[in-house]
Amino acid sequence: MPDYSKIFIDGRWVAPDATSSAEVVNPATEEIIAHVPMGSRRDVDQAVAAARNASEGWARTPVKERAAAMARIVAGLQERAEELAALATDDVGTPIGLSRLAHVGLPLNNFAFVAQAIAESAESFEQIGSSRVVREPFGVVGAISPWNYPLHQSTAKVAPALAAGNTVVLKPSEVAPLTIWALTEVIEAAGLPPGVFNLVSGDGPVVGQAIAAHPQVDLVSFTGSTAAGVKVSQAAAPTIKKVSLELGGKSPALVFPDADVNLAGMTAMGMVTMGLSGQACVAHTRALVHRDVYDQFLAAAQPLAGMITYGDPFDPAVLASALISAKQRDRVMGYIETGQREGARLVAGGTRPDGELAAGNFVAPTIFADVRNDMTIAREEIFGPVLAVLPFDDEDEAVRIANDTEYGLGAGVYTTDARRAFRLARRLRAGTVGINGFQVEPHLPFGGFQQSGLGREGGQSAFESYTELKSVLMPLTEELM
């Protein structure tokens, strides 16, 4: 069991400068399961100094050695896979099956991909005339990760950053941090030089702000709410550092009469209820449905709402999690009240379960029909099991409604017309568009348009985003070529 009272700086587990701690609460039981340090600006200064001291040496480490280190981390994560899944289930509340698949499987993919990527391409260059264009690491990367997929989102930053030759200071969410201590132990066992990876826990206003504003941090990568992303950008601006942001979403699913409407209804409802109970930025929380199949869509979605099972997340029969905290639970219930007050028609859910489940942060799967796109529940990110269903009459209206948002993270198109599907995918202002289904593919770029973020995570583009381009002007002589 990791020692959650310490942070990791310069290759050692050390007591933090600050003495305060944050309670880690099991969402399904509301029981306190751990305490983690609330770090200070001095802790950040020490971690950044260690990362800076290690930066040049790690950048010059041969590619084969960095790739081998990534492979050792993969092996370490595999060895502790079941422990990590159990920690995620306690920490985030996700059903154990999803924890194995997403909270462990995706992080493994993140490190395995970059191990292969750097072995194939990190020391290559582009020849343009007599000159060469090369990629070099930024230096020190500040990584700030969220609570909904803490291990996946942390490794989506840490893996490509380390593989590209950067050193890292990681701040996990203090709400669900337990898997990150295990990750740090795995990285420590992999034998990376001191200072290459550092862990400082704490909250956004102190530790997150200090990382984003630090003059010795060259790049800051943040995943979280759009409001918090604005603060990260503001903190980073005075030092002109690169900022990567993966932020909120209000993703639409467009359902046409020629689609498998029953599949579309079940898929849309499943995305906002099963697993994390809608606590995913890319969840399709707006269903835009053609009027000809509107009632059919609702008829398909409604039964699924009643079939979602809650309870002990270690029970294989449980399909959905509690919301992460009482605060988030109450926030979601507030949106449900707002939806009813503004005139949307509640057709499923809208309540909290009673009995044994009343002790957890559970909210029943909720469907609103007859929603207008100017309603609060259609415009703001709820981060809970709430689906807003809006009608449309033709393709142009569907696109207009879908794009009438400040976000642009994901979208879906349900149709059997391949040409329409691709045409709409190009018209929608979203970073990822699924056709007749949706899943996050970790080897593809992931990110959003507009206020859903800056930059991309995943795939080769993520690896490249942690490098700077340099042009080397070379004369045409055989001695230098």
Tell me the per-residue pLDDT of 374-433, one tens digit each, with 9 for 90 and over.
999 999 999 999 999 999 999 999 999 999 999 999 999 999 999 999 999 999 999 999
Classify residue 480: in a domain, yes or no: no
| pLDDT reading at 182 higher than 50 | yes
pLDDT, greater one: 232 or 461: 232
The most confident of 18-22, 251-255, 318-322, by mean pLDDT = 251-255
224 and 353 both lie in a single domain: no
Q: Which of 23, 126, 246, 479 is catalytic?
A: 246
Classify residue 48: in a domain, yes or no: yes
Give the Cα-Cα-Cα angle 470, 241, 248 (nearest 5 degrees): 115
Tell me how far apart the alpha carbons of residues 71 and 208 are, in angstroms, rounded to a whole number.
Answer: 29
Residue percentage of the chain with pLDDT more than 70? 97
CATH code of 106's domain = 3.40.605.10
296 and 334 both lie in a single domain: yes
Q: What is the mean pLDDT of residues 192-203?
A: 97
110 and 164 both lie in a single domain: yes
Beta bridge partners of 446: 457
Rounded mean pLDDT of the chain? 93
Question: From residue 328, how far is each of 108, 175, 293, 362 by CA, in Å?
Answer: 29, 12, 33, 10
391 and 333 both lie in a single domain: yes
| pLDDT reading at 299 higher than 90 | yes
The most confident of 176-185, 356-365, 452-461, by mean pLDDT = 176-185
In contact, 232 and 220? CB cutoff 8 Å: yes
Q: CB under 8 Å, gap of 24 or more: what pairs does 354-360 form?
A: 356/311, 357/310, 357/311, 359/29, 359/30, 360/27, 360/28, 360/29, 360/30, 360/93, 360/310, 360/322
Whether 281 is catalytic is yes
Classify residue 99: in a domain, yes or no: yes
Q: What is the mean pLDDT of residues 195-222?
A: 97
What pLDDT, on a 0 to 100 scale, did the predictor assign at position 481?
Answer: 47
What pLDDT, on a 0 to 100 scale, did the predictor assign at position 479?
Answer: 52
Whether 468 is catalytic is no
Classify residue 442: in a domain, yes or no: no
Tell me how far apart the alpha carbons of residues 445 and 338 are, in angstroms, rounded to a whole number.
Answer: 35
What pLDDT, on a 0 to 100 scale, did the predictor assign at position 478?
Answer: 53
Question: In this predicted model, what pLDDT tens digit does every residue of 155-165 receive, in sequence order?
Answer: 999 999 999 99
289 and 334 both lie in a single domain: yes
Of 199, 210, 203, the C-alpha closest to 16 is 199
| pLDDT reading at 477 higher than 70 | no
138 and 185 both lie in a single domain: yes
In contact, 468 and 136? CB cutoff 8 Å: yes
Q: What is the mean pLDDT of residues 233-253?
A: 96
Q: What is the mean pLDDT of residues 105-130?
A: 82
Q: What is the mean pLDDT of residues 103-114?
A: 92
Domain range for 100 is: 7-247+448-472
157 and 207 both lie in a single domain: yes
310 and 426 both lie in a single domain: yes
| pLDDT reading at 306 higher than 60 | yes
CATH code of 384's domain = 3.40.309.10
| pLDDT reading at 118 higher than 90 | no
What pLDDT, on a 0 to 100 scale, did the predictor assign at position 123?
Answer: 60
Q: Which of 23, 56, 126, 281 is catalytic?
A: 281
| Residue 468's pLDDT band (cuts 50, 70, 90) | very high
What pLDDT, on a 0 to 100 scale, did the predictor assign at position 341?
Answer: 98
89 and 181 both lie in a single domain: yes
What pLDDT, on a 0 to 100 scale, did the predictor assign at position 131?
Answer: 85
Classify residue 207: in a domain, yes or no: yes
Determine the number of helices (DSSP H) and then strands (DSSP E) in the chain: 16, 20
| pLDDT reading at 108 higher than 90 | yes
What pLDDT, on a 0 to 100 scale, did the predictor assign at position 462?
Answer: 83
269 and 399 both lie in a single domain: yes
Residue percentage of the chain with pLDDT more than 90? 84
Q: What is the mean pLDDT of residues 185-204?
A: 97
Number of domains in the chain: 2
467 and 327 both lie in a single domain: no
Q: What is the mean pLDDT of residues 317-340?
A: 96
Q: What is the mean pLDDT of residues 115-144?
A: 84
Classify residue 327: in a domain, yes or no: yes
Classify residue 104: in a domain, yes or no: yes
What pLDDT, on a 0 to 100 scale, did the predictor assign at position 296?
Answer: 97
| Residue 134's pLDDT band (cuts 50, 70, 90) | confident
240 and 261 both lie in a single domain: no
Tell me how far apart the alpha carbons of residues 215 and 29 are, in angstroms, rounded to a whole number.
Answer: 42
In eight-state DSSP terms, residue 344 is P
Classify residue 292: in a domain, yes or no: yes
